[in-house]
Homo-oligomer: A and B are copies of this chain.
């Protein structure tokens, strides 16, 4: 395996996915070197191992252009491009109900820029909401390491405000008012289903 970074940029699979972080670099997280995505994945593994829920991250969508088939070894993808995801990153099942969410991190201290979300992700969450699924977003402020849970319908208020010419972000005050701040733990790390349970069941 050869690693070539002609631009001096490090490759991070997370930075390339929909869960892109502002700079593409890993954000230190409670000095554990964990990213938001890693914490959510561990949380989902905890839920799965304990029979609580079945929630997985979707693979990063990739457009494959060229594949080599060396003799006696695995197929190698030699040319491919990142595609924009058409849905959110996480979905699954909790107590019979469909769960669907996106997780985003910002280095911004006072607001969450809505450019972190794509219009088709909003459309997707809207479709989920209409079909009686549970759609929400997790927002992490890197500076304070706080994570907020926001229901889709709250998020959508601010999305609509932007579409009507209003500000292109949600202020932290608004997130504190309309979202729920998650307590962080060890097992699981980010117990977002506790909030799902209290808000939807």
Contact = CB atoms under 8 A, between A and B. Distances in A.
A132 interface: yes
A51 B126 CA distance: 11
A186 interface: no
Contact of A1 (B5, B56, B66, B93): B66
Interface of A: 1-7, 9, 11, 13, 16, 48, 51, 53-54, 56, 58-62, 64-71, 74-83, 85-87, 91-98, 100, 124, 127-128, 130-133
A64 B11 contact: yes
Given A77-B77, A77-B81, A58 B60 contact: no
Nearest to A130: B51
Given A93-B100, A96-B131, A74 B66 contact: no
Contacts of A54: 124, 127-128, 131, 133
Contact of A93 (B58, B82, B128): B128
B133 A64 contact: no
A94 B13 contact: no
